[in-house]
Amino acid sequence: MESTIETLCARGRAAHPELTLEGATFAKHLARCRAPLASVAGQLHAEDLWLACAALARDERAVARLGDQYSPVVWRYARHIKLTPAALDDLSQSLWAALLFGEPPKAPGLALYSGFGALAGFVGITAQRMALRKLQAESAAMRVAERAAAETRLVAGDPELDVIRQRYRAEFESAVRTALESLDDRQRMILRMRVVDGLTCERIAKGYGVGQATISRWLERMREQVRRDTLRLLRERVPLTESDFGSLAALVASQLDLSISTLFDARPARG
């Protein structure tokens, strides 16, 4: 095993003679990232492992080399994901921060690179996954903005309804929260994937091994259950006339997904 590590060290030094890295530091890194030394050591990308280890050790030349060499890879993997230019720029910054520093309790991404495949692929796939998450977040934010605009249009011509909305906002959110808690874990997860993550019914259906039409029916029933329970709770808790309650019911229907998104974002997923 020692001779294997020495061979990998020699390959790393030869590829990156300008980097300052001790062999003992590299050996510890190989243990932490669980490089498969006993089975396929000869197939490991020792040169990439050496660069990753030096970058994690805060060697400025290694960090600069990573950026210069792999920024085009990031663009190549993420270019087919339709992010805005600003989001792509943010992706690059977020990616290098995640790879080099991580976010407690998560370790730096490069610490997980075992050298079995090329570092370019590891960086590219990480960038692609982050880009997809950003796209989902952008889509969710856009849907929330659209629903908020719809709510604004709904109350714009009705000052009394706007007063009702502002006065009973806390009661409304509490009622929606209670209604959501009446769903089981699977129902909440499916609703979250559709409303918050923006996944299509087709993708959700594949994950649960059912037909797309089945997911559509489940979602329709869940929304109706949450709407019905929310209105029941509001009727019990809020002193309104029948006319005002009818207006509030229309508001509930118009902003139900917005409220669900807000409440789901405020707490971790379950199930």
Question: Are 116 and 200 within one domain?
Answer: no
Coil vs helix vs strand at 7 = helix
118-to-122, 124, 195, 210 alpha-carbon distances in Å: 7, 10, 37, 37
Where helices occur in 196-241 by DSSP H, the ranges are: 201-208, 212-237
Is-contact 8 41, C-beta < 8 A?
Answer: yes
Residues 100/64, Cβ–Cβ less than 8 Å: no
How far apart, in whole angstroms, are the C-alpha atoms of residue 145 and residue 141?
6
Give the DSSP per-residue string, 172-199: HHHHHHHHHHTS-HHHHHHHHHHHTS--
Residue that has been written with the tokens 């190989």 in this structure: 30
Residue 11: what pLDDT? Answer: 94
Q: How far apart are CA 239 and CA 259, in angstroms?
A: 21
Rounded to whole angstroms, how far apart are CA atoms 254 and 161? 13
Domain stop point among 132, 166, 191: 132
Q: Is residue 146 part of a domain?
A: no
In-domain check, residue 127: yes
Final residue belonging to a domain, choices 99, 132, 165: 132
How many C-beta neighbours within 10 Å does residue 8 have? 25
271 part of a folded domain? no
Does any domain span residue 117? Answer: yes
Query: Is 150 inside a domain boundary?
Result: no
* Domain that residue 236 falls in: 157-265
19 and 126 inside one domain: yes
124 lies in the same domain as 15? yes
Copy the structure tokens of residue 150. 């719809």
pLDDT at site 149: 62
For every one of its 271 residues, what pLDDT tens digit does the chain have, with 9 covering 90 and above?
A: 788 889 999 999 999 999 989 999 999 999 999 888 876 777 889 999 999 999 999 999 999 999 999 988 888 877 777 667 777 778 888 889 999 998 777 889 999 999 988 999 999 888 888 887 777 666 666 666 665 565 555 555 556 666 666 777 788 788 888 988 888 888 888 888 887 777 788 888 888 888 999 999 999 999 899 888 988 888 888 887 777 777 777 777 766 776 777 676 554 444 4
**Rounded Cα distance, 81 and 145, in Å:** 22
Shared domain for 238 and 175, answered yes or no, is: yes
Note whether 79 and 195 are same-domain residues: no
Do 162 and 115 have their domain in common? no
Instruction: Give yes or no: residues 123 and 226 share one domain.
Output: no
My answer on whether 105 and 12 are in the same domain is yes
Terminal C-alpha separation, the chain: 43
Say if 148 falls within a structural domain. Answer: no
Do residues 104 and 45 both lie within one domain? yes
Domain count along the chain: 2
CA-to-CA dists, residue 111 to 48, 51, 53, 214, angstroms = 12, 12, 8, 42
Distance (Å, rounded) from C-alpha 137 to C-alpha 198?
8
Would residue 145 count as lying in a domain? no
Do 120 and 66 lie in one domain? The reply is: yes
Q: Are residues 118 and 177 in the same domain?
A: no
CA distances (Å), origin 102, targets 97, 106, 195: 6, 6, 28
**Is the residue at 138 inside a domain?**
no
Q: What is the DSSP letter of 109?
A: G
C-alpha span between 173 and 222 (Å, rounded): 17
Let me know whether 234 and 122 are in one domain. no
Give the residue from 132, 149, 179 where a domain finishes.
Answer: 132
| The two structure tokens encoding residue 19 | 């980097």
pTM of the model: 0.53
Residues 51-63: b if buried by 16+ CB within 10 A, e if exposed = bbbbbbbebeebb
